[in-house]
Amino acid sequence: MATVRDATYDVLRTLGLTTVFGNPGSTEEPFLQDFPADFHYVHALHEATAVAMADGYAQAAGVPAHVNLHTAPGTGNGMGNLVTAWHNKTPLIVTAGQQTREMLLLEPRLANRRPTELPQPYVKWAYEPARAQDIPAAMLRAYATAVQPPAGPVFLSLPMDDWAQPADPPPAPRTVATRFAPDPQRLAEFVTVLAGSRNPALVYGPGVDRSASWSAAVALAERLAAPVWSAPATERAVFPEDHPHFRGVLPYAIGPLAEALRGHDTVLVVGAPVFRYYPYVPGGHLPDGARLLHVTDDPDEAARAPVGDSLLSDPGLALDALVERVPPSDRPAPARRDTPPPPEVGTPLSADALFAALAAHWPTDAVLVQESPSNLSALRRQLRITRPASYFTMASGGLGYGLPAAIGVALAERDTGRGRPVVAVVGDGSFHYSVQALWTAARLALPVVVVVPVNQQYAILKAFAELKHTPGVPGLDLPGLDIVAIAAGYGCATEVVETPDQLGAALTAGLGADRPTVVPVPISTDVPSIL
């Protein structure tokens, strides 16, 4: 007779969820026993790492991913990156073990006291099945919930005595739509505004990349002869950054963002929140007299925008429809922005010089995963992303995502057969939040190269303290960390690099290696301005 466990693995197979990212505990062992040979368990040493690896994998492979966490403490450990997955809009099916139903009333060791509350509000749905027999169908519902727009994580708490129970007949497989088209009347209103605009600006967000619609984004920009900005603090690159219309990434503060858009009467935002700000710098949300049009597949994002009129739609389907309907403009195309002069190469390197060297040696099809807070502007200035699905970072502001996410991306590159090289740039502070991910990368023989700009400080927090006039904050310096020893301890190749040429050689060797390579690069300790 089929057990709940058999039936659940059958459902997971049907859904293509044969890779499980996790860290096992006693409450998960009854699910993981006799782990099927056609499944792959990706062993993370910590739950934060498991969640971010699954997130990177899901984003790069373009499929949902399954993460299996330990009961309450393990779910707690995974929570920071669950917050990130929520903001990243990554469809993750997170399952966690629960103590035996027989004992739950007395709250034994490792009982998850309020399993459906613990991961809130960073899951779209949290559930503990009322009956063991409901687990397979709950898995189907979890999947359907995770992938429908706006995509995001879901959570199932699964008692450990459920797996051996006899199963009900298998639930009927079913599918759900993951995109929806714009309301035609509302779309027509947007077309009228854009057609009548004197000087429109386009602001694209990560939804453009998630919906694989770079070509429509370019076509609309060219049709409108409009400049294009990336929305602030995006978790994905949204437009070919060598395109003459591209103006760069908008600043993540209210006043400066409006200032960057000065002169435009219409601002069309597609696939981004309005807007993702960080330091509070007061001002108007838009330049005087400008009107904002907002396309998003997320009703909550539309509702919380402080300005603008919204249209709910898959970003790609809306862009296709706009390209079809907006009349071509007779304005001259925007001129290409200036290329920054090559930075001076000093000792130690400046962040700009490091990233200029990285750009000079960048393989055309490489993927960049970024978590280097104070160096983000220098990185985005020097290294331009020109291909879709090639840049990933966290939307949340929570550290500990980039390193494991890069490993998930690299595994997805291997599993999909696409094989693009993966480079992570991770600050020497950020490196330590999920550092044990390096062990998984080494075990999987993934040739990820992790470039660590070493400034021995939390530079962005120093910049923030300066902006906000809060001197004397403790805990902003990072002396005495031996990154080479740590990387070697987890099984990585590793070598300190100090010059652009050494970086090129390390990159080539690392991308051709059969294990991860960690490349610490001492950089200037100058604190860049936060804006």
Give residues in contact with ligand TPP (CB under 6 A): 80, 372-375, 397-400, 427-430, 433, 455, 457-461
Q: Return the number of the residue (275 or 458) whose C-beta is nearest ligand TPP.
A: 458
Distances (CA, A) of 526 to 294, 298, 303, 348: 38, 40, 40, 11
Q: Return the number of the residue (252 or 458) whose C-beta is nearest ligand TPP.
A: 458
Q: Return the number of the residue (297 or 352) whose C-beta is nearest ligand TPP.
A: 352
Q: Return the number of the residue (316 or 373) whose C-beta is nearest ligand TPP.
A: 373
Give the shortest CB-464-to-ligand TPP separation in angstroms.
8
Burial 375-400 (b: 16+ CB within 10 A, else e): bbbbbbbbbbbbebbbbbbbbbebbb
Judged on CB neighbours under 10 Å (0-12, 13-18, 19+), 172 is exposed
Q: Return the number of the residue (54 or 158) whose C-beta is nearest ligand TPP.
A: 54
Run of H or E residues at 138? helix 135-147
Kind of pairing, strands 200-204 and 126-127? unpaired
Run of H or E residues at 467? helix 459-467
Give the shortest CB-13-to-ligand TPP separation in angstroms.
35
Q: Are 40 and 19 in contact (CB under 8 A)?
A: yes
Tokens of 519: 């490349």
Q: Are 518 and 452 in contact (CB under 8 A)?
A: yes
Q: Return the number of the residue (111 or 523) whose C-beta is nearest ligand TPP.
A: 523
Under 8 Å CB-to-CB from 482, ≥6 apart: which residues?
A: none
Q: Return the number of the residue (208 or 463) whose C-beta is nearest ligand TPP.
A: 463
Give the chain's radius of gyration (CA, Å): 24
Judged on CB neighbours under 10 Å (0-12, 13-18, 19+), 165 is middle
Give the shortest CB-420-to-ligand TPP separation in angstroms.
25
Residue whose beta carbon is closest to ligand TPP: 427
Residue 63, helix vs strand vs coil: coil
Q: Return the number of the residue (473 or 505) whose C-beta is nearest ligand TPP.
A: 473
Give the shortest CB-463-to-ligand TPP separation in angstroms.
8
DSSP 16: T
Task: Write a three-state SS string for 252-266.
Answer: CCHHHHHHHCCCCCE
Q: Return the number of the residue (128 or 428) whose C-beta is nearest ligand TPP.
A: 428
Q: Return the number of the residue (276 or 294) whose C-beta is nearest ligand TPP.
A: 276
Under 8 Å CB-to-CB from 442, ≥6 apart: which residues?
A: 490, 491, 492, 515, 516
Residue 64, helix vs strand vs coil: coil
Judged on CB neighbours under 10 Å (0-12, 13-18, 19+), 443 is middle
